[in-house]
Amino acid sequence: MATENPRRWWALLVLATAQFMVIMDTSIIGVALPEMQSDLGFTPGGLQWVFNAYVIAFGGLLLLGGRLSDLLGARKVFTAGWIILIAGSVLAAVATTAWVEVLGRAVQGVGGALIAPAAMTLLMMLFGHNPKELGRAMALYGAAAPAGGTAGVFLGGVITEYLSWPWVFIVYIPIGVATLLATGLLPAVRGKRGSVDVVGAISVTGGLALAVYAIVAENWIAAVTGAALLVVFLIVQRVVREPLMPLSIWRTPGLATANLAMALLGAAWIPMWYFLNLYLQQILGYGAFASGAALLPMTVAVMIFMIGITARLLGRFGAKPLIVLGLAVLAAGVAGLSFADVGGSFAADVLPASLVAAVGMSLAYIPAMISAMSGAKPEEAGLASGIVNTTYQVGSALGLAVMTSVATSQAQLVDGFQGAFVGAAIVAVLGAVLSLTTMRKPALQKA
C-alpha cells in the first residue's frame, strides 16, 4: 500500500513552479517581439517562429516526453527537462541572429516537453492515494497555468522596458537552477522495461514543423514532405509494438471532436494574442511596459474565469454547451478587435473586445480539455492528456502561420492586423459550428 510522502506539499510547490514556468515561456516573449525583430533582423513573416519554434517542439515531443517518463523514471526526466530548458534559455538570451534565437526557443520547447508529462506523473504519485488531496493538488497545479500566462505578459513588459529583451530568457536560469536543487523533494520513480518510438517522434515533429513552414513560405515541397512525414508517423503507430500514440485511442468517445475544438481554439486565440501585442506597440505606439500592462486585464480575466467560474458552469451545464458558447464568444471578441484602426484607442478598441475574447477562451478551454479525457480508460488518461495538449499547440502554430500569411499579404500594417483578426474570428466561428454539430452529447454531466 502506498504511504503518504511527508514532503508532498513542498514537492507540489516544485511541480506547480514548473507548470508556471513552462506556460509563462509562451507568454513572456509576446511584448518583447518588436524589439527582438529590430535587434535580430526578423522579417514580419519570420517573427512568428520565436513562438512557433517553442510550441512545435513542445507539442510535437509531449508524447515522447510521457513515454520517456514511464521508461526512465519521472524524476530523472523532469530533471533532464529543466537542464535542457536552462540551456535553451541561455542560447535564446545570447542570440545575435534570428536563426540562433529560433534554435534556442526550440531547445526550450524540448525541455518543456519533458517537464510537463513528468510533472503530472509525479503529482499522481504524490497524491493519487487520497482523492480529496488529489483534487486540491490538481486545483493548485492547474491554477499555475493561467497564473503563468498572466505573469508572463506583465513580467515581459517590465523586463523588456527596464532591462532588455534577453532578460526574458535569463530569468529562467536562476529559477531553473533553484528548481533543480529542489528536485530532492520529489519521489524517486523507477523506470520500466520498454522501447522508445524514435521514428514516430521524429516523423511527427518534423512533419508538423514542415507543415507550418510550408504555410509561411508558401513552399509546396515542404508541404508534400511534411504530409509524407505525418503519413509515416501514422504507419509507424500502426506497426510498431509500443507506439507513442496507439491509434486505438481514437475510438475513445468524444476524443476526436474535443481535439478538433482544442485545435481551432488554439488557432483562434494565439493569433489574436500575437497580433494584439504587435498592434499595441507598432500602431498605437505603446512601449513594452505599457503594452504588457494593457494585456493584463485580458489575462487576469482568463485566470479568474478558469479558476472561479468555468468549473461551476461545467458541473451544471456539461461540456458541449460551454465549448460552443465559448468559441462563439471568442469569435465575437476577436471580430471586435478587427475594427481597431490607426486612430484607435485602448479604452474603446482594445479593452472591451479583448475582455470578451478572454471570457470566450475561459469558457471553452477547460471543458474541451476534460471532454477529450473523460471518455478514456484510466490507463489511457495520460495518453489522452498528451494528445489534447499536443493538438492545442499544433492548432496554435498552424493558426498563427495562416494568419501571419494573411497579415503579410496586405500593403498596410494595420490592414494586415485587421485581416488576421478577421481570420481568427472565422476560425473560432468554425470551431463553434463544428462543435455544435459533431459533439453528440456533453462529455461531462451534472452529478
Question: Residue 339 and residue 336: Cα distance in Å, rounded?
Answer: 6
Verify that 96 and 228 share a domain, yes or no. Answer: no
| Structural domains in the chain (count) | 3
Verify that 322 and 431 share a domain, yes or no. Answer: yes
Looking at 187, 209, 226, the residue that finishes a domain is 187
Looking at 145, 160, 187, the residue that finishes a domain is 187
Mean predicted confidence (pLDDT) in 238-247: 90
The pLDDT value recorded for residue 31 is: 87
Verify that 239 and 167 share a domain, yes or no. Answer: no
Answer for the pair 198, 67: CB distance below 8 angstroms, yes or no: no
CATH number at residue 16: 1.20.1250.20
List the grid coordinates of 102. 529560433
The pLDDT value recorded for residue 144 is: 79
List the grid coordinates of 324. 460552443
Res 443 pLDDT > 60: no
193 is a domain residue: no
2 is a domain residue: no
List the grid coordinates of 124. 499522481
Each residue's pLDDT tens digit, 244-283: 898 988 988 888 999 999 999 999 999 999 999 899 999 9
Question: Residue 238 and residue 59: Cα distance in Å, rounded?
Answer: 21
45 is a domain residue: yes
Mean predicted confidence (pLDDT) in 314-325: 90
266 is a domain residue: yes
Q: Max alpha carbon distance in the chain (Å)?
A: 67
Verify that 54 and 183 share a domain, yes or no. Answer: yes
Closest residue by Cα to residue 276 from 368, 393, 355: 355
64 is a domain residue: yes
Calculate the average pLDDT of the chain. 88
Looking at 176, 209, 243, the residue that finishes a domain is 243
Verify that 283 and 394 share a domain, yes or no. Answer: yes
Please list the alpha-helical segments (H only) found in 163-194: 167-170, 172-181
Each residue's pLDDT tens digit, 113-154: 999 888 878 887 887 677 777 767 776 776 777 678 778 888
Verify that 235 and 157 share a domain, yes or no. Answer: no
Each residue's pLDDT tens digit, 71-121: 888 899 999 999 999 999 999 999 999 999 999 999 999 999 999 888 878
Verify that 170 and 207 share a domain, yes or no. Answer: no
Mean predicted confidence (pLDDT) in 320-346: 95
Res 383 pLDDT > 50: yes
Write the single-letter amino acid at 160: T
Verify that 30 and 114 share a domain, yes or no. Answer: yes
Question: Residue 112 and residue 164: Cα distance in Å, rounded?
Answer: 24
Residue 238 CB coordination number (10 Å): 11
355 is a domain residue: yes
Q: What angle do CA 196, 199, 202 make, to 5 degrees?
A: 105
Question: Residue 34 and residue 100: Cα distance in Å, rounded?
Answer: 17
Verify that 380 and 365 share a domain, yes or no. Answer: yes
The pLDDT value recorded for residue 444 is: 42
The pLDDT value recorded for residue 100 is: 97
Verify that 203 and 174 share a domain, yes or no. Answer: no
Verify that 17 and 108 share a domain, yes or no. Answer: yes
Verify that 234 and 254 share a domain, yes or no. Answer: no
Helix (H) or strand (E) segment spanning residue 61: helix 49-72
Note down the domain range covering 164. 7-187
* 393 Cβ contact partners less than 8 Å away, ≥ 6 residues apart: 55, 56, 58, 59, 60, 62, 266
1 is a domain residue: no
For residue 379, CA distances in Å to 120, 191, 373 come to: 14, 17, 11
192 is a domain residue: no
Question: Residue 22 and residue 16: Cα distance in Å, rounded?
Answer: 10
